[in-house]
């Protein structure tokens, strides 16, 4: 069983449930958060290896949450999930430390591969 912990941050219940179920079945330990406040608390309490972060989280901006996550722990891999992608947004995400972005609606197989690749990349960097 995988030991990696993943935090899913999305204000849509169905997205959190879908991703949580899929990643749990793949052997990851999963926690979820529906808003920025809970997300940041989970980052502190759950200590995830990877965060799947919705770019638009109610009134909160995903880039601001990304910055706060990186202040808590720079080693956490953050993948942005969004239905509102743009070239400017992509540049900001990368500038503030996001691993990448996955557009909604997403292909679960692609998401699974991106998550696995991101965790593997992170593990390799920490071993260097």
Domain residue spans in the chain? 5-119
pTM above the 0.85 mark?
A: yes
Q: How far apart are CA 52 and CA 32, in angstroms?
A: 9
| 2-34 tens-digit pLDDT | 689 999 999 999 999 999 999 999 999 999 999
Q: How far apart are CA 30 and CA 21, in angstroms?
A: 9
| 78-119 tens-digit pLDDT | 998 887 654 444 445 555 678 888 888 888 999 999 999 999
For residue 116, cis peptide bond before it (omega within 30 degrees of 0):
no
Among 2.60.40.10, 3.20.20.70, 3.40.50.2300, 3.30.420.310, what is the CATH number of 5-119? Answer: 3.40.50.2300
Q: How far apart are CA 102 and CA 55, in angstroms?
A: 10
């Amino acid at each position: 069983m995988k030991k990696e912990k993943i935090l899913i941050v999305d204000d849509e219940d169905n997205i959190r449930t879908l991703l949580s179920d899929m990643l749990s079945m793949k052997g990851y330990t999963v926690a979820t958060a529906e808003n920025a406040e809970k997300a940041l608390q989970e980052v502190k309490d759950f200590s995830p290896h990877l965060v799947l972060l919705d770019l638009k989280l109610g009134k909160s901006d995903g880039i601001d949450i990304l910055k706060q996550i990186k202040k808590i722990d720079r080693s956490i891999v953050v993948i942005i999930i969004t239905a509102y992608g743009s070239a400017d947004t992509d540049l900001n995400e990368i500038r503030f430390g996001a691993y990448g972005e996955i557009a909604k609606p997403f292909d679960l197989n692609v998401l699974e591969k991106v998550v696995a690749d991101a965790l593997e990349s992170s593990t390799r960097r920490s071993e260097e």
